[in-house]
Structure 1
């Protein structure tokens, strides 16, 4: 993760929002949470701020898709 505290806060917030939305996921929270965790852990070592911003944008897209379910 970048040393930019603002980006760190954004990543944590979108993770929390997705966890909250996952409670209503059609396949259940027990299906959703491990996959969400795995997706975020796979990017945990990212240092490039542009790539982190792209990841945040992708997470926002996923959030909108889940809200549409």
Structure 2
């Protein structure tokens, strides 16, 4: 049986992933996949297996955050023109 600290860690991870999934594409079914992943691992008893599953969840969290950062960067890049009228050598307007 998992310790109380491990259980609380898993619940916190689930809540954080659920919040991150709000901004995800609806057609991907992020919340459904998240729930199925946690339900599949519900009956794990070995501490090593539980730790491995939590590490996978943390990896998914980090990758999702990276995708959101990339999306923000791409949006900002589209907002500014790539060929501005600033002279790149002097960094001044002509």
1:3-42 to 2 correspondence within 5 Å?
A: 3-25=2-24, 27-28=25-26, 31-42=29-40
Equivalent-residue separation in structure 2 for 1:11 and 1:35 (angstroms): 16
Equivalent-residue separation in structure 2 for 1:3 and 1:33 (angstroms): 24
Which structure's residues are more often helix, by fraction? 1
- Shift in CA distance, 29/18, structure 1 to aligned 2, threshold 3 Å: farther
Which runs of structure 1 show a deviation greater than 4 angstroms over 4 or more consecutive aligned residues?
none
TM-score by structure 1 length? 0.89
CA shift for structure 1 position 28 = 2.1
2:52 matched residue in structure 1: 54
Structure 2 gaps, min length 5: 68-94
User: Aligned-pair RMSD on alpha carbons?
Assistant: 1.5
- Would you say the 8 A contact 1:22–1:29 is kept in 2? no
CA shift for structure 1 position 63 = 0.2
Structure 1 gaps, min length 5: none
TM-score by structure 2 length? 0.66
User: Which structure has more RCO (C-alpha within 8 Å, separation ≥ 6)?
Assistant: 1
* Higher Cα radius of gyration: 2
